[in-house]
């Protein structure tokens, strides 16, 4: 729905009519990036990775498709570049500036700052690329979730 409201149906029609042979354009279900709609995903045959482009215009997506076809480097949009705290995100999952979420905000800000610093170190000292840093960040976030059902009062 977020992408639809951002004009994805028209974008799809325009892209379908402009891309050449060897390229398939299709609408898909939500890509989980509703806050950065319209979201697009490029899958290259025989590649294990998908490439996400968020909030891009139709003209930009045409350029991106052309770059993939010419096997040129493409700058994709990584989740790691997106902040999950108020002020950096279009969607505030903690309900504006309600005081009851202040502790959650502090925890998320501290977590994100630590992961950004860790990512910088991994890039600098281990030569990691953006995809590896993003997988590291996601893995850390998943492991840091607290199962409230396991906490006894």
Residues that bind ligand FES (CB under 6 A): 1-3, 30-34, 37, 39
- 129 in Cβ contact with 136 (< 8 Å): no
Q: Structure tokens of 125?
A: 């000292």
- What 3 state SS string does 125-152 have? HHCCCHHHHHHHHHHHHHHCCCCHHHCC
Nearer to ligand FES, 38 or 119 (CB): 38
- 91 in Cβ contact with 34 (< 8 Å): yes
Smallest distance from ligand FES to CB 84, Å: 16
Smallest distance from ligand FES to CB 89, Å: 14
Nearer to ligand FES, 80 or 119 (CB): 80
Quote the radius of gyration of the chain (alpha carbons, Å): 18
The residue sitting closest to ligand FES, measured at its beta carbon, is 3
Smallest distance from ligand FES to CB 24, Å: 18
């Amino acid at each position: 729905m977020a992408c639809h409201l951002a004009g994805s149906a028209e974008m799809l029609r325009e892209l379908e009519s402009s891309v050449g042979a060897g390229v398939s354009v299709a609408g898909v279900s939500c890509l989980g990036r509703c806050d950065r709609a319209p979201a697009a995903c490029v899958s290259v045959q025989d590649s294990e990775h998908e490439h996400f482009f968020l909030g891009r215009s139709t003209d930009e997506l045409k350029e991106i498709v052309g770059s993939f076809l010419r096997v040129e480097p493409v700058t994709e949009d990584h989740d790691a570049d997106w902040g999950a705290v108020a002020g950096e995100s279009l969607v505030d999952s903690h309900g504006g500036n309600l005081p009851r979420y202040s502790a959650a905000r502090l925890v998320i800000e501290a977590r994100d700052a630590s992961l950004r610093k860790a990512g910088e170190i991994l890039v600098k000292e281990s030569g990691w690329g953006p995809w590896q840093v993003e997988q590291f960040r996601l893995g850390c976030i998943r492991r840091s979730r607290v199962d409230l059902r396991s906490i006894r009062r």
